[in-house]
């Protein structure tokens, strides 16, 4: 079977070349035209990160052509910030960049040397500074820290207990209890939780953490309904919780 050869006539070539020329012209306008100069950065989902932070860690500058930037490179730069968990950057023609973030959260504070270290419930270190500026989250005490570099996960001497300690923080976070706590003191296989209402709870650092945190929350609700805001709660016994004034 013979192959059929199609020839493009002169008119067809003119149309194709004209179309290619229009594409090139459009691209030139996009790259050089002031209509596409960046005038606004729209930041979404942010709490800790602001536009000034974005400008510092990326090459973004107001007035630059928005087609100048590689979106993937901008996203990679933003992800270098320890507070950024997820980011998506989009162009909005003619002159905007939309930056949608999901941030990591400060869940607890640790004292390490002369600095306060902010950590997420999964052990990720977010920030280290001289003063404790977040009084709404508990301080963790009794942990022998080996390493806690910003942007990395914490390392402690007792690696076996690390998962359990992080589990306590995560369970308290799930139950919206972190803001009710002054400090959490870890001592060998025991945990002391000091609440802001002068209530101290004691529990074991073992596989029953999730169960005990739920028990603690229910007991606190009952005590609050009875107008009680002080005392001790012993949760070391799996069978029975003991409250003493």
Of the pLDDT bands very low, low, confident and very high (cuts 50, 70, 90), residue 120 is very high
How does 116-135 read in b/e, with b if 16+ C-beta sit within 10 Å? bbbbbbebbbbbbeeeeeee
Q: Shortest CA distance to 170 belongs to which of 222, 214, 112?
A: 214
- How long is the chain? 245
H helices of 83-178, in order, are 159-174
Number of H helices, E strands in the chain: 5, 14
Query: pLDDT tens digits for 36-90?
Result: 899 999 999 999 999 999 999 998 999 999 988 999 999 999 999 999 999 999 9
Tell whether the model's pLDDT for residue 23 goes beyond 90. Answer: no
Segment holding 226, helix H or strand E: none
Strands of 104-205 (E only): list them. Answer: 108-112, 115-119, 125-129, 139-141, 145-147, 155-156, 181-187, 190-195, 199-204
Of the pLDDT bands very low, low, confident and very high (cuts 50, 70, 90), residue 3 is low
Cα separation of 230 and 144, whole Å? 30
| Strand 145-147 relative to strand 139-141, pairing | unpaired
pTM score, two decimals? 0.83
Residue 174 CB: number of other CB atoms within 10 A?
14
């Amino acid at each position: 079977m013979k192959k059929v050869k199609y020839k493009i006539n002169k008119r067809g070539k003119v149309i194709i070349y004209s179309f290619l020329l229009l594409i090139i012209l459009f691209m030139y306008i996009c790259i050089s035209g002031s209509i596409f100069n960046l005038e606004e950065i729209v930041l979404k989902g942010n709490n800790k990160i602001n536009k000034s932070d974005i400008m510092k860690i990326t090459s973004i500058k107001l007035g630059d052509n928005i087609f100048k930037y590689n979106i993937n490179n901008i996203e990679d730069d933003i992800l270098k910030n320890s507070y950024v968990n997820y980011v998506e950057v989009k162009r909005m023609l003619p002159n905007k960049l939309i930056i949608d973030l999901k941030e990591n959260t400060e869940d607890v504070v640790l004292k390490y040397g002369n600095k306060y270290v902010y950590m997420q419930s999964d052990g990720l270190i977010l920030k280290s500074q001289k003063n404790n500026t977040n009084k709404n989250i508990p301080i963790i005490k009794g942990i022998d820290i080996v390493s806690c570099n910003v942007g990395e996960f914490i390392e402690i001497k007792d690696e076996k207990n690390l998962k359990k300690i992080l589990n306590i923080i995560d369970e308290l976070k799930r139950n919206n209890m972190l803001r009710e706590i002054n400090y959490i003191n870890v001592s060998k296989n025991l945990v002391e939780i000091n609440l802001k209402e002068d209530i101290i709870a004691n529990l074991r650092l073992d596989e029953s953490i999730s169960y005990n945190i739920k028990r603690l929350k229910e007991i606190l609700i009952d005590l609050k309904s009875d107008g009680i805001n002080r005392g001790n709660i012993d949760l070391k016994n799996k069978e029975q919780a003991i409250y003493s004034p």
